[in-house]
Amino acid sequence: MRLPSVATEVDNAAARALYASTGGIEDPTPAIVYTYRLSGH
């Protein structure tokens, strides 16, 4: 079963504390984000 996820910046201590206080568990490996430019935008 895949659980819902949220993401934040590593240095966003407030968000990380909020997610931890509500039972969130940090992944052991940070995610890598890819950004694509869409044509016409």
pLDDT score for 41: 61
> DSSP letter at 29?
S
Our CA dihedral for 16, 18, 24, 27, rounded to 10 degrees, sits at: 0
Tally the residues of the chain.
41
CB 24 within 8 A of CB 6: yes
- The mean pLDDT of 17-29, rounded to a whole number, is 95
pTM equals 0.68
- The mean pLDDT of 5-32, rounded to a whole number, is 93
